[in-house]
């Protein structure tokens, strides 16, 4: 089957091109006889589509549209210097990688050198032997198509890698986030607390904790139901999160109705004020709790502790001290903050 051929008006009526042809040849030459000779040379070649441009001023626009796999470019034309046109192909993002075979009547080494320096891939003295011409067209087109496939494969790989990174990030976030409140979860707390402890030890900065518990939460669930209890957990979580806005402050849902706040670079002298502030903020939410013996509103108890990190074994002691303070806050009436100063 003969290849389909499209030509410019100077060579007669164009025929319809075959879609998705592997090889597309664009010849730019002002001599119609050269165009006809190349067309005839390629006529019986399966899989090669031929495009001809007799006006070099239109060459770049046609190349952008046709997207050939190889350009046959005459050097000597009346209106445009062939080497200047080669340079234009190389500076245009749509054509800069397309192989260019320069056609010239000259055999001089200096002319060839200028052509290669301008960006040509190959050089043929016209009119070239048919077999050699077809071989070079196929060779350069195959290399160009292989490069396109590699580029597409690379782009697909990069896209897949980015999608995988995004999926991994989303998965990592899900594994570190409490599904009900949107706060960090216990798993992330363990990692973060360890990291901040070591950082504080290196920087010789204090590290503090506040442990928060919703007062009489079981009675709330018994009275209002678990759906209402979940809503209270979310609102309290948002309230506590809003109370600690420094970039490194971390609010965590430990589980059930218990929360913890990691406060890097926070001395113990600040804890009483910070603890009372969050107690007051939760009470100000004005969430009804008719079964609470403390108040007719939802309240929290807070225990805090802080220290200057040094040995790793003291990290657990800090957590235990804050938990001990929370127990004391509950024992002494709830709806308050107590700070353990034993460390």
pLDDT one-digit tens code per residue, 249-292: 999 999 999 999 999 999 999 999 999 999 999 999 999 999 99
Percent of the chain with pLDDT over 70: 92
Where does the pLDDT of residue 16 fall: very low under 50, low under 70, confident under 90, or very high at 90 and above? very low
Give CA–CA dist 327/55, Å, rounded: 91
- Is residue 191 part of the annotated active site? The answer reads no
Quick one: pLDDT at residue 148? Answer: 87
Residue identified by tokens 């899989």 is 47
Quick one: pLDDT at residue 106? Answer: 84
Quick one: pLDDT at residue 169? Answer: 73
State residue 305 phi and psi, 5-degree precision: -160, 155
CA distances from 76 to 42, 84, 86, 107, 322 (A): 23, 11, 12, 13, 88
Asked if 309 and 331 count as a contact pair (C-beta separation under 8 A), the reply is no
Catalytic hit among 257, 258, 283, 312: 257
Asked if 55 and 98 count as a contact pair (C-beta separation under 8 A), the reply is no
Render pLDDT for 35-91 as a digit per residue (tens, 0 to 9).
999 999 999 888 899 999 999 999 999 999 999 999 999 998 888 899 999 999 999
Given a cut of 90, whether residue 19 has pLDDT beyond it is no
- At 233 the three-state DSSP class reads helix
Quick one: pLDDT at residue 151? Answer: 85
The alpha-helical segments, DSSP class H, found in 177-312 are 186-203, 217-224, 226-243, 271-283
Give CA–CA dist 118/115, Å, rounded: 5
**Which neighbouring-strand residues pair with 130?**
none
Quick one: pLDDT at residue 341? Answer: 86
Q: Which of 24, 154, 35, 42 is nearest to 98 (CA)?
A: 24
Where does the pLDDT of residue 313 fall: very low under 50, low under 70, confident under 90, or very high at 90 and above? confident
Q: How far is CA 56 from the centre of its chain?
A: 42
Quick one: pLDDT at residue 203? Answer: 93
């Amino acid at each position: 089957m003969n290849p389909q051929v499209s030509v410019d008006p100077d060579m007669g009526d164009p025929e319809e091109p075959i879609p998705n042809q592997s090889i597309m040849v664009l010849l730019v030459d002002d001599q119609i006889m050269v165009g006809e000779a190349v067309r005839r040379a390629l006529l019986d070649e399966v899989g090669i589509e031929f495009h001809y441009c007799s006006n070099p001023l239109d060459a770049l626009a046609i190349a952008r549209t046709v997207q050939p796999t190889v350009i046959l470019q005459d050097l000597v034309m009346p209106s445009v210097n062939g080497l200047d046109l080669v340079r234009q192909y190389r500076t245009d993002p749509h054509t800069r990688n397309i192989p260019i075979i320069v056609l010239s009547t000259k055999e001089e080494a200096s002319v060839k050198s200028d052509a290669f320096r301008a960006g040509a891939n190959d050089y043929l003295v016209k009119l070239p032997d048919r077999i050699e011409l077809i071989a070079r067209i196929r060779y350069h087109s195959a290399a160009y198509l292989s490069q396109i496939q590699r580029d597409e494969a690379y782009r697909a790989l990069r896209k897949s890698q980015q999608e995988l990174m995004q999926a991994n990030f989303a998965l990592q976030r899900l594994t570190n986030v409490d599904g009900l409140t949107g706060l960090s979860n216990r798993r992330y707390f363990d990692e973060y607390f360890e990291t901040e402890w070591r950082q504080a030890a290196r920087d010789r900065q204090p590290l503090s904790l506040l442990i928060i518990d919703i007062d009489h939460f079981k009675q709330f669930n018994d009275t209002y139901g678990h759906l209402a209890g979940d809503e209270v957990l979310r609102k309290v979580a948002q309230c506590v999160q809003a109370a600690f806005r420094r970039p490194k402050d971390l609010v965590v849902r430990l589980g059930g109705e218990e929360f913890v706040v990691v406060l890097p670079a926070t001395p113990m002298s600040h804890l009483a004020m910070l603890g009372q502030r969050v107690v007051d903020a939760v009470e100000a939410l004005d969430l009804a709790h008719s079964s609470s013996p403390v108040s007719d509103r939802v309240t929290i108890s807070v225990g805090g502790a802080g220290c200057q990190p040094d040995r790793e074994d003291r990290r657990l002691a800090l957590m235990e001290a804050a938990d001990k303070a929370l127990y004391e806050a509950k024992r002494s009436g709830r709806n308050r903050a107590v700070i353990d100063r034993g460390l």
